[in-house]
Amino acid sequence: MLQETKWSEFNLSYYYRVLPSFFDKNCVVVHAKGSAGGILIAWKKNYQLISSWATPHSCSALLKQISSGALLVVTNVYGPSTDDRKPAFIQELRCLAALVQHPWILGGDFNLVHWLINHTGNTRSFRLMSLFNDLIRDLQLIDIPLKNRQFTWCSNRPQPSHSKIDRIFVSPDLSQQFSLLSLHALEVLVSDHAPLLLNCVTEPNPRRHFKIELFWLTNSQATNIIQEVWNQNKEDLSLQRFNLSVQSMHGRLRDWHCNNFSEVEKQLHFCKNTLLFFDQIEERRNLEGHERKFRIIVRERAYKLACIIETRWHQRSRCKWLQSGDKNTRYFHAVASSRHRKNHVTFLMHQDQVLTNDVMIRSAFKSHMESLLGVENSVIQFNPSKLYPSNPNLEFLQDHFTETEIEVAVKQLARNKASGPDGLPN
C-alpha cells in the first residue's frame, strides 16, 4: 500500500513558483484526479526532508528540525467522498499509524464526522462515525479543538449544509512537547473548505499561581515549614495575620520545592541509570559493601520520586476514569494536560480589537471585571426584590451559620481540591 514518492514523477515547477521564498524548494505532492484528491506538504527552510511516502488517500513526510535534530512526521489526508470506500480508508490510516515512530501530525479532509453535531442536513452514517471514533481512540490521537468556527465545509447552495470534516490530530508525545496547541480557521477565499492553522507553541512562563502539591503533605520537611509559619504570632486572630501567614507559607514552600523537587523526572531518570549501572557491574563481579549500601539508597530515592510523579499526575487529572486508569501511558499524560490547554485564552475580542498578547488579555480581563464588580473595598447593594418576581421571606439568609452546617459543608468538599485562589487544598 505504501509507496516511496519519487520526485521525478512530479512536475514541481508550478509549486516552486507559488511557494513563499522562506519555504524549502521541495514539497511532497499527490496530484489530483479531476478536481479532487490533490495533496501537498511544504515546509520552511529550517526543516530538512528525511523521507516521504504515499498511500491511496494520504501522503506523509518525515522532517528533521535542523537546529535541534528533532524528528516530526506530517501526514496530509484526503478521504474518499463515497461511503462505500470510507471503511477501507479508515483501515488505511490504521496501517499508516503502525509505521509512524515519531511525533505525528495527522490532518486534512477526512470526509468523516466525529459526532452528529458536526454536520447539518442529511443524517450521517452511524456505522462510519463509530469506525472513525474507534480509530481515534485506538490510535490514541488528540483532537485539537477548533477555536473560532463550528464547521469547516459549506455546500454553498441556496439552502447550504455544513460539516466539520477537516480536522487535525496529534500524537500524545507531540501534545506533551507543545503545551499550547491551538487550531484556528482562516478566511475562505475560493474553496468550500476553511483553511486550518495549527499553532504549535510552548506556554509563556509567567509566574504561576501557587498550588500545594499533595506529596508535600507526606514530607516531614514541608509539614515542619507549615507548622512553623502558623505558629508565628498565633495569638493574633485577625484576617490580616491570616493573609500574611498564607503569603509567607507560599514563598517558603515554593523555595523548598525548587531546591528539592524542581526536576523530579530528571532525578528519577538519573537514579534508574545508576541502578542499571550497578546491575551491570554485579553481573561481572560481586558488589562491595559500600556499593550495595549506595544502591539501596538510590533505589529508595527512585521509589520516592516515582511516588511523587504518580501523585502529581493523579492530582492533575479530573475525570474518574483517568484517576483510576493506567497513569503510565503517554495518552494519559496528554489527556490530563489537555485541560490546561483547553482553558488557555489564546485571543480575546475587546472593544472591536483582537488581543493576542498575554499582558493585554490580562489587562482587558481586569478592566472588564472591575466594571462589573467595582474596585476594591466597594460596597455592593443586595436587593432580593430584583432577583425574584414576588417578595418571598428571605430573612433566614441573615441567620448566622451553625457549627453543624459548617461541618456538613466542609465534609462535602473534595479533599484534594483547592476551593479558593490561595491554592490550599481542603
Instruction: State the pLDDT at residue 321.
Output: 46
Model pLDDT for residues 212-223, shown as the tens digit of each residue: 777 888 788 888
Instruction: State the pLDDT at residue 28.
Output: 81
Where do the structural domains in the chain lie, given as residue ranges? 3-201, 214-343
Average pLDDT over residues 63-85: 89
Instruction: State the pLDDT at residue 380.
Output: 64
pLDDT for 5 beyond 50 = no
Spatial distance between the Cα atoms of 312 and 301, rounded to a whole number of angstroms: 17
Average pLDDT over residues 94-119: 88
Q: Which of 18-32, 139-153, 207-221, 380-394 has the highest mean pLDDT?
A: 139-153
Determine contact, residues 218/416, Cβ cutoff 8 Å. Answer: no
Model pLDDT for residues 269-283, shown as the tens digit of each residue: 889 889 888 888 888
Average pLDDT over residues 241-262: 83
Model pLDDT for residues 14-73, shown as the tens digit of each residue: 555 667 777 777 788 877 776 677 888 888 888 889 998 888 889 999 999 888 888 999
Determine contact, residues 196/185, Cβ cutoff 8 Å. Answer: yes
Instruction: State the pLDDT at residue 208.
Output: 62
Instruction: State the pLDDT at residue 110.
Output: 92
Regarding predicted confidence, which is higher, 210 or 409?
409
Regarding predicted confidence, which is higher, 125 or 368?
368
Instruction: State the pLDDT at residue 66.
Output: 86
Band of residue 7 on the pLDDT scale cut at 50, 70, 90? very low
> Of 183, 187, 153, whose CA–CA distance to 36 is shortest?
153
Band of residue 382 on the pLDDT scale cut at 50, 70, 90? low
Residues above pLDDT 70, as percent of the chain: 81
Instruction: State the pLDDT at residue 146.
Output: 86
Determine contact, residues 194/152, Cβ cutoff 8 Å. Answer: yes
Average pLDDT over residues 88-96: 92
Q: Which of 172-176, 199-203, 235-239, 295-299 has the highest mean pLDDT?
A: 295-299
Instruction: State the pLDDT at residue 73.
Output: 92
Q: Which of 104-113, 144-153, 306-315 has the highest mean pLDDT?
A: 104-113
Model pLDDT for residues 290-316, shown as the tens digit of each residue: 988 999 999 998 888 888 888 777 776
Average pLDDT in the chain: 80
Q: Which fold has domain 3-201?
A: Deoxyribonuclease I; Chain A (3.60.10)
